[in-house]
Amino acid sequence: METRHRIRTGIGGWTFEPWRGGNFYPEGLPQSQELHWASRRLPAIEINGTFYSSQKPATFAKWRDETPAGFMFSLKASRYCTHRRVLAEAGESVQRFVSSGIAELGEKLGPVVWQMMPTKAFDADDMDAFLKLLPRRQDGIALRHVLDVRHASFRDPAFIALARRHGCAVVFTDSDKFPSIADVTADFVYARLLMASADQPTGYDDRQLDHWADCARSWSQGHRPAGLDAVTEEDSAAPEGRDVFVYFINGAKERAPAAAGALLQRLGLAPLI
């Protein structure tokens, strides 16, 4: 993982009962040691709990200290910021979230995910006003923002242009419930893969995992992978490359750690242990 532009694969959270008892965590591993274990086998975790409730600075510091060098957390921003009719009115909630102690993660703070309601349709003026609310730094730490939009109306060139102008990434997903947007709009790429199958020990079959490995390499090298569904034809090449985050989220969640590990193996990336 010492390349300039890193590919990180990971899972959502680390406390999930089906991962216990030998599926991912060893039999008998205390729950208090699960983050320690997971963070030494996968290089990234997306935290969902921050979407539902606020955390204390001491909690972020504890997570930082329990994980090894090179590890990263992505954070889902509070739903009070994004689950509202008028996003432009979220300023106070946005400030409350970013000042809640997330900077305690330091260099382990990865992208912040702003997940919209599935019923929230694209409104260019409202979205532009919301993106202006997202700070670029907090307590001296640079912030990277990701937009997880879930309404088909966001498949609009005007939205892609807005995201690019504000330097925000747009989540790429393989979900059949939400729009798949492969346009690269920032200096990093963020993918959330939601279609794992319980019938596959690694969530996805070999062909699918090979495909996602090829996509991750292309993104990391600064190119848009062939065959993905983009809104615009604009060239997204970045000769200097991009950081890439690929999370296995939901679907057959019990398979997520195996899927992330299988993708790491295909990419030739060793665990952090």
Question: At residue 18, does pLDDT exceed 60?
Answer: yes
Q: Residue 272: inside a domain, yes or no?
A: no
Q: Residue 178: inside a domain, yes or no?
A: yes
How many domains would you assign to the chain? 1
pLDDT at 235: 63
Mean pLDDT of all residues in 29-39: 97
Q: Residue 2: inside a domain, yes or no?
A: no
Q: Residue 37: inside a domain, yes or no?
A: yes
Cβ atoms within 10 A of the Cβ of 51, count?
20
Query: What is the percentage of the chain residues whose pLDDT exceeds 70?
Result: 96
pLDDT at 238: 75
Q: In the structure, what pLDDT confidence band is assigned to residue 175 with cuts at 50, 70 and 90?
A: confident
Q: Residue 1: inside a domain, yes or no?
A: no
Q: What is the pLDDT of residues 111-132, one digit of tens each?
A: 999 999 999 999 999 999 999 9
Question: At residue 38, does pLDDT exceed 90?
Answer: yes
Q: Identify the domain containing residue 181 by its residue range.
A: 7-267
Q: Residue 156: inside a domain, yes or no?
A: yes
Mean pLDDT of all residues in 137-149: 97
Q: Residue 273: inside a domain, yes or no?
A: no
Q: In the structure, what pLDDT confidence band is assigned to residue 227 with cuts at 50, 70 and 90?
A: confident
Q: In the structure, what pLDDT confidence band is assigned to residue 1 with cuts at 50, 70 and 90?
A: very low
Query: Can you give the chain as a three-state secondary structure string?
Result: CCCCCCEEEEEECCCCHHHCCCCCCCCCCCHHHHHHHHCCCCCEEEECHHHHCCCCHHHHHHHHHHCCCCCEEEEECCHHHHCCCCHHHCHHHHHHHHCCCHHHHHHHEEEEEEECCCCCCCCHHHHHHHHCCCCCEECCEECCEEEECCCHHHCCHHHHHHHHHHCCEECEECCCCCCCCCCCCCCEEEEEECCCCCCCCCCCCHHHHHHHHHHHHHHHCCCCCCCCCCCCCCCCCCCCCCEEEEEECCCCHHHHHHHHHHHHHHHCCCCCC
Are 16 and 85 spatial neighbours (Cβ–Cβ below 8 Å)? no
pLDDT at 251: 84
Nearest to 146 by CA among 175, 177, 109: 109
Give the pair of three-digit tokens for residue 139: 């307590």
Are 111 and 145 spatial neighbours (Cβ–Cβ below 8 Å)? yes
pLDDT at 4: 44
Give the CATH number of the domain where residue 125 resides.
3.20.20.410
Mean pLDDT of all residues in 186-208: 96
Question: At residue 237, does pLDDT exceed 70?
Answer: no
Query: What is the percentage of the chain residues whose pLDDT exceeds 90?
Result: 88
pLDDT at 3: 43
Q: Residue 141: inside a domain, yes or no?
A: yes
**Average pLDDT of the chain?**
94
Looking at 48-62, 66-80, 167-181, 221-235, which range is the least confident one?
A: 221-235
pLDDT at 168: 97
Question: At residue 5, does pLDDT exceed 70?
Answer: no
Mean pLDDT of all residues in 153-172: 97
Q: What is the pLDDT of residues 50-79, one digit of tens each?
A: 999 999 999 999 999 999 999 999 999 999
pLDDT at 117: 96
pLDDT at 45: 98
Question: At residue 2, does pLDDT exceed 60?
Answer: no
Q: In the structure, what pLDDT confidence band is assigned to residue 27 with cuts at 50, 70 and 90?
A: very high
Question: At residue 229, does pLDDT exceed 70?
Answer: yes
